[in-house]
Amino acid sequence: MPKTMLIDAAHAEETRVVVVDGNRVEEFDFESQNRKQLRGNIYLAKVTRVEPSLQAAFVEYGGNRHGFLAFNEIHPDYYQIPVADREALLREEAEDHDDDERPARGRRGASEHDDDDDGDSHASEDDDDVMEEELARRRRRLMRRYKIQEVIRRRQIMLVQVVKEERGNKGAALTTYLSLAGRYGVLMPNTARGGGISRKIDTATDRKRLKGVVASLAVPQGMGLIVRTAGAKRTKAEIKRDYDYLLRLWENIREKTLHSIAPALIYEEEDLVKRTIRDLYDKDIDEVWVEGEAAFKEARDFMRMLMPSQAKKVMAYREPTPLFVKHRVEDHLSQIYSATVPLRSGGYLVINQTEALVAVDVNSGRSTRERNIEATALKTNMEAAEETCRQLRLRDLAGLIVIDFIDMDESKNNRAVEKKLKDALKDDRARVQMGKISPFGLMEISRQRRRTGVLEGTTHVCEHCQGTGRVRSVESSALASLRALEIEALKGGGEACLRVPRAVGLYILNEKRAHLARLSQAFGLFVTVVIEDEMAHADHTIERTSMEIRADHIPSIPSPLQAFEPAAEDDDFDDDAYEDEDEEVDEEDEDDDALAREDTDDDDAHARNAREEGPRDDHEDGGRRGRGRRRRRGRGDEPRPERAPAAEGAEARPDREARPPREGDEDRDSRRRRRGRRGGRRMREDVRPQDAFSWVRPWVPYGDDPFVWYDPSEDLKIAPVAEAGAPAP
């Protein structure tokens, strides 16, 4: 199917680029005017802090935050070391270069011999492909020899390049190993022995031819050139033209650096239109449509400079219908902002981005066409693997990615899904590392971050939910506001203004008005509820308008003896059973006491009577002894005068009205009198105060002690003392 590149630059605020394969969007990129890309820019920076614990330095380069420069990203030319040590490093590099040349030739011959037998299978193992591993090995050796605090100084000037964008609270990641990307090659000005061929060029004949082309260019010592994948089929003249362009660009950077003062921007990466033609365009694209006159001229001129033979494919779009609407692209792009992605068989994906990772959940949905559950799971997972790779490119999801596939019982099905995912990731320009499907059906993928993600670049955090996706309910928000008012009331009375959203304010006024009244009565805090429509759903503010208690405030002081009133009796509670039980216990205790007294105090008297009167009948003696016990138990020690509970209660509590008699009081009093005659425990009403002190808050000005002690039992002591003729306390 024909492939088309569409560039929408009708609005200066945002530029969008898509690559359409038939009706399917394969690539998508965008750039906002207020958030331009920093990756690839070169700055003249100044070291502001060296952190030994991180073995890194923080530099000021002109961004919003200080950049992060790791020690292994600092070129040895910036080391503040003696000249002798620097010369020793240079000699070691020369020796390493000579040692690597001889094994390289041997490996080259072996690879050419293997190509005759195995085709292109060993072409990717060429010696030039291990360039990155060799550079990393050299950097680790330098880090073992030196520490960053020994070789890097504060206020040191460096030429750095941004390799990772600012994100959240993290600053941009920087490096001193510069690289300039062209159409067919990448020039590394300060990386010696950095030449090579892209790993993705796996044809032995192309690799051998390109090595000869790079050798004929006579790259200066201390520089390196890498041929990109786009230059696999290019001629020597095309590669040389691109190389000359990069050399001129580097000379301009050097010239500008010498006349700049840190921090300063030295080189700015190409804008989106130029980057798209440089990185995304290939000969398989039939047409390049550009909407916007300025963008069309820029794309045409850049194409003429890089690929003059392809400039005729760049065409301007001037129709009234928007470019993306005509090619039916807008509907596909709108799905990028949705967390759910449908699949052809009826299943769907759910993509959730978090701070730690990106979670992709695979669901079968309405997919019920297969013969069994294993076949359904396999078909859905195969579609999900292909669609997930496409969504990773469109949304530019990076970092750790975890895919939750549908569980499959057969291991061969898992291997088939892994192969499908690996083949789909070959077209991704970012570096990707993938694992295997775990026993839990999870697969982990690590993907390089090339640019700002779509959601991160075109959206902002919700001001209502703060990015969580959920807000507090009206009831919960109202209760939180009332709890804040209670804390404010403890600081003293006065007047306060509570500002809440409309829904919360209406709930407080309709459902919690009594609570506001209690605050005013107990603490003297009068609250005015003000509705703010612009306020977030769960926010509230409390403003103190006055710290003086209002003159019309009457503190709610409860009666001191109100707490002494007996609790209302439960109609369902049967106290006869408990009274009978108490009577039995009392009788048993009194019998035991009587027997103890008879055994101890009356032993001698009984003995004397027995000797004087002679032998008696045991039955007569036992009956006389029982009658004596009954008389003592019924008599008691002395008769106590009964109080008049009504008179005493009226005297002790003059401010309390007499309680009308209830139904059942007469039976209760008769039971108590009957228990008294039997010698049981009398249950009289305790009129003494149970709590000697109570908190009373009188009317006092603000600033004084708002609480005083009041003893309600003092009123009970005054009357009897006065009758005895003693002075009242």
344 phi/psi in degrees, rounded to 5: -65, -35
Distance CA 193, CA 222 (A): 7
pLDDT at 427: 80
In the chain, where are the structural domains located? 37-310, 338-450, 474-556
Distance CA 135, CA 431 (A): 18
186 pairs with which residues across the strands? 181, 226
Instruction: Work out the angle at residue 242's Cα, subtended by the Cα atoms of residues 112 and 236, and round it to the nearest 5 degrees.
Output: 40
Per CATH, the architecture of 338-450 is what?
Answer: 3-Layer(aba) Sandwich (3.40)
Rg (CA), the chain: 47
Instruction: Work out the angle at residue 446's Cα, subtended by the Cα atoms of residues 445 and 447, and round it to the nearest 5 degrees.
Output: 115
CB 128: neighbour CB atoms within 10 A? 21
CA dihedral 276, 277, 282, 285 (to 10 degrees): 80
527 pairs with which residues across the strands? 496
pLDDT at 262: 86
pLDDT at 572: 54
The residue type at 26? E
* Distance from the Cα of residue 652 to its chain's centroid: 65
What is the block-wise mean pLDDT of the chain (729 residues), using blocks of 10 residues?
Answer: 86 88 86 83 94 92 90 88 76 60 43 36 38 57 75 92 85 91 88 73 84 86 85 85 90 92 89 86 86 90 85 90 89 87 91 91 80 87 92 90 92 93 87 91 90 79 80 91 91 89 92 90 89 86 82 58 48 52 53 53 52 49 51 48 44 46 55 54 52 48 50 48 43
DSSP code per residue over 400-431: EEEEEPPP-S-HHHHHHHHHHHHHHGGG-SS-
Distance CA 207, CA 127 (A): 11
Distance CA 712, CA 560 (A): 6
Residue 246 in contact with residue 180, Cβ under 8 Å?
yes
* Distance from the Cα of residue 350 to its chain's centroid: 19
Residue whose C-alpha is closest to residue 48's, from 156, 138, 150, 135: 156
- Name the H helices within 636-726: 645-652, 665-678, 714-723
CA dihedral 462, 466, 467, 472 (to 10 degrees): -100
Buried b (16+ CB within 10 A) or exposed e, 674-702: ebeeebbeeeeeeeebeeeebeeeeeeee
Residue 363 in contact with residue 351, Cβ under 8 Å?
no
Distance CA 231, CA 229 (A): 5
The third-level CATH classification (topology) of the domain covering 37-310 is OB fold (Dihydrolipoamide Acetyltransferase, E2P) (2.40.50)
Q: Which CATH number fits domain 474-556: 3.40.1260.20, 3.60.20.10, 3.90.1010.10, 3.40.50.720?
A: 3.40.1260.20
Distance CA 223, CA 185 (A): 13
Residue whose C-alpha is closest to residue 401's, from 388, 411, 414, 413: 388
DSSP code per residue over 88-133: HHHHHHHHHHHHHHHHHHHHHHHHHHHHHHHTTTTGGG-GGGGHHH
